[in-house]
Structure 1
Amino acid sequence: MEKSKEHIVHVGCDRGLCHQAVGRQDKQLNTYDWLADVPGNPYTTDLVEVQFKHTRKGYYHNVNNLDLKKGDIVAVEASPGHDIGVVTLTGRLVKLQLKKVNIKSPDDIKRIYRIARENDIQKWREAQAREHSTMIESRKIAKGLGLDMKIGDVEYQGDGNKAIFYYIADERVDFRQLIKDLAVAFHVRIEMKQIGARQEAGRIGGTGPCGRELCCATWMKNFSSVSTNAARFQDISLNPQKLAGMCAKLKCCLNYEVDDYVEAGKQLPGKDIILQTQDGDYHLFKNDILAGLCTYSTDKNIAVNCETITAERAKTIIEMNKRGEKPVSLTHDEGKKAEPKPHIDLAGGDISRFDKAKKKKKKKNKPNNNRQPNDKKEAKDAK
């Protein structure tokens, strides 16, 4: 007997994935480089993608022809000074990323100076350590000036000479005095950058109700507007608590499948059309859009005598009603007799079981040796 072969479980790189293409998983918006194991791919272009804090990314020219790969910490050109970031993508895919972020001007693409030295990394770590305290202090300064804004995050440049303050505001804010006060308080160059609630959620990160990490913190770069029409097309209940994401805005994932639902919804009959049969009139109760099924009820407001038919069958009945004809029922035409539906017991079993007479069981007289004679006859026979 030959021994049975053991089942091999492929995980990670064994499934054909290149470990060099994955990169570090502690970086948000990580891009899998499908061309990482192609010979000569990193040398097809000198463009390199560099990621900074959270979801901020930049694209730079490798003018010094450095041997860069994913995960390398580099010093890049900034205004003023230099910044420190991590290489997240090299090779041909960088050009495709440029198209996504709509970078057309060559002036937006700066240079990579060098691979970060030990003192560069030390200054970078020290600047990062001051970010949280700077954010708390800046919020107090903005509140003291009476500005209607929220400072959600602070990011120091790698050399510590500049700080970017990310803020959220519903209306236009005059923060000229705020910039002066922040410059005096922290002795750095100040840059104010307005972001929306979705961008803030992407920078903070978190886990969505689906159990996965937020899309805005993992792969989404451009945010499109989401309206309640996306929920209506998919026949989703308009419950604000369920439709809202971690950013208190409508979930971005409502737009993922809305196009398929719109196309499938065109094949369904109108919601206000009443189907007339010999049994009575039927009103649309609900639709299974992707399956192409329609459920009709004899009552307009509640589910009564519900029947589920296909969209093609519903359109056939609509055409018959236009000609003045009425089918026997939703599922049968004029010439066909509707078969009586069997009764269904929701509790299980056959409903006719209650009609069967129960057989009475005969009691068997068992001898009892401990019984005492009560009458005279039994006493006489006992003698």
Structure 2
Amino acid sequence: MSCKSCATGGCGTQRGAASGEKTATTGCGSGGCSTGAGSSAGCNKLNSFDWLSDVAMPGLKQYDVVEVKFKGGRKEYYRNVHQLDLTTGDYVVVEMQSGFHIGAVSLQGELVRLQVKKRNVKINDDTKVIHRIATPKDMERHEQAVLRDLPALYRSREIVRELKLNMKLSDVEFQSDNTKATFYYSSEERVDFRELIKMLASEFKARIEMRQISLRQEAGRLGGIGSCGRELCCSTWLTDFKNIATSAARYQNLSLNPAKLSGQCGRLKCCLNYELDTYMDALRDIPTIEKPLETQKGRAYLQKTDIFRKLMWFGYGAESTWHPLPISRVLEITELNKRGIIPESFEVLTPIGDKEPVTAAALNSDLQKLDAKYATKISKKKKKKAKGAGPTAAKPTSNGKAQ
């Protein structure tokens, strides 16, 4: 069965109701459709590639626990007690605390055993089971339940505004049998939503569950494109949200601009931690400059540090010229200042072959060249348009007369 928002119609796996045949498909691969149980973050969100699917395990009974995926990338584990012949992508009817729900098989076999061990999930007789493979009638009821999600979200937001509750509803998920609705919300403070649950229960005629999620989890459920041009990490592969401090930006010499350092969730970007360990290792050799360097030419203040090239740029007072010094030279001048010796200037100490002093504008010369390049292209295009729009000029012949 294909999802409605996919143009190719080739997502998922469908089992014939009468003949029992399987139509195996690999999905559109575009990442923008709602495969399975209506995931809003793409076809392959947090999926594991089953590299053992074509490998037979002689002498071993297949692991009877199956990983089932639901809306928003949520995955749970169910026992296949009826020994159903399942294929990755099959829609199955699974047991819930009250009623049943429909999800898509995302992983099975020995890899599920590894995932269960990794996530420390306890499998026992109380583990919920898979009832059957979804029939066309089951899928019809499931689609009707999915179609209720968006209108219910809009209506519930209106009720929240009427009650003046300080909370943000981000998603709604109806159970396939329409007996339960889960509302996902985020809030900075404790919310008393007892009156809200009563109104929602009478409005949608279902059992209501309110589930609070963090702002990072909310961004992961909704999905989006980051400033890097790629899909958000939290909606594709990142599940462990670690604490991110502003010191991570300081160590990487990033400007403390909240607009640039914040992600779509409003919190500091998770990618600030990706290269932090590399910067921390590189900063071990760089000294801490607590006061300006003393030279006979004047006091030199630290302007910039090139962490990986091990260069420190100093400038005299209000001058726009910055002098690059290697770390060894900075330590040398610092030691001289401690002993009361003031060198003449940086130029005397800089040997031939080292970096020459440059102005602050020269450090950004690449950006200026790039801006100038595109500025000339735009001006040339405007001139061509202006020439094409004006009257054609008469061309003089060899005898001086115009044609």
**TM-score of Structure 1 vs Structure 2, range by shorter chain:** 0.7 to 0.9
Alignment correspondent of 1:127? 145
Letter in structure 2 aligned against 1:308: P
Q: Report the CA distance between 1:200 and its aligned residue.
A: 1.4
Q: Which residue of 2 aligns with 1:317?
A: 333
Structure 2: distance between partners of 1:220 and 1:342: 44
> What does 1:26-175 correspond to in 2, within 5 Å?
26-27=42-43, 29-33=45-49, 35-36=51-52, 39-40=55-56, 45-98=63-116, 101=119, 103-104=121-122, 106=124, 109-175=127-193
Residue 310 of structure 1, CA deviation: 2.5
Q: Deviations over 1:132-188 (max 9, x none)?
A: 111111122222233222221110112221110111222111112221221111111
Larger of the two Rg values belongs to structure: 1
- Once residues 27 and 69 of structure 2 are traced to their aligned partners in structure 1, the CA distance between those partners, rounded to angstroms, is 14
Q: CA deviation at 1:80?
A: 0.9
Structure 2 unaligned blocks of 5 or more: 1-23, 32-41, 366-403
- Read off the aligned partner of 2:280 and give its amino acid letter: V
User: Match for residue 257 of structure 2?
Assistant: 239
Q: What pairs with 1:243-282 in structure 2 (closer than 5 Å)?
A: 243-277=261-295, 279-282=297-300
Matched, 1:203 2:221: yes
1:203-222 alignment to 2 at 5 Å?
203-222=221-240
Structure 2 residue matching 1:160: 3-state secondary structure: coil
Indicate yes or no: 2:308 matched with 1:287: no
Change beyond 3 A, Cα 1:168–1:303? farther
Task: Confirm or deny: 8 A CA contact 1:206 1:213 kept in the other structure.
Answer: yes
Identical aligned residues as a percent: 44
Distance (Å, rounded) in 2 between the aligned partners of 1:226 and 1:185: 40
Aligned residue for 1:245, secondary structure, equals coil
Per the alignment, in what secondary structure is the counterpart of residue 306 of structure 1? strand
The TM-score with structure 1 as length reference comes to 0.73
Gaps of 5+ in 1: 1-18, 348-383
Answer whether contact 2:102 2:134 (CA < 8 A) is retained: yes
- CA deviations over 1:261-298 (Å, ceiling 9, x no partner): 12212221113243344554422111122332211112
Q: 1:127 to 1:21 in 2, by over 3 A?
A: closer
Distance 1:100 1:38 in 2: 23
The Cα shift of 1:68 comes to 3.0
Q: CA deviation at 1:96?
A: 4.6
Partner-residue secondary structure (3-state), 1:216: helix
Question: 2:178 is paired with a residue of what secondary structure?
Answer: coil
Task: Work out whether residues 323 and 358 of structure 2, in 8 Å CA contact, stay in contact via their aligned partners in 1.
Answer: no
Q: What is the Cα deviation at residue 43 of structure 1?
A: 6.4
Q: Which amino acid in structure 1 is aligned with residue 129 of structure 2?
A: R
User: How much does 1:34 deviate?
Assistant: 6.2
Find the counterpart in structure 1 of residue 323 from structure 2.
Answer: 307
TM-score scaled by length of structure 2: 0.70
Q: Is the 8 A contact 1:49 1:57 kept in 2?
A: yes
Residues in 2 aligned to 1:226 and 1:250: alpha-carbon distance in whole angstroms: 7
Deviation sequence 1:352-372 (CA, Å, 0-9, x none): xxxxxxxxxxxxxxxxxxxxx
Aligned to 2:285, the other structure's residue is in SS state coil
Total equivalences in the alignment: 325
Q: Which amino acid aligns with 1:50?
A: V
User: Does the Cα contact within 8 Å between 1:287 and 1:295 map onto a contact in 2?
Assistant: yes
Distance in 1 (CA, whole Å) between partners of 2:297 and 2:69 is: 67
Instruction: Give the alignment partner of residue 192 of structure 1, picking from 178, 185, 210.
Output: 210
* 1:65 to partner: Cα distance: 3.1
Asked if the contact 1:22–1:31 (Cα under 8 Å) also holds between the matched residues in 2, the reply is no
Identify which range, 218-227 or 38-47, moves more after superposition: 38-47
What secondary structure sits across from 1:85 in the alignment?
strand
Contact 1:226 1:255 in 2 (8 A): yes
* 8 A Cα contact 1:23 1:71, kept in partner: no
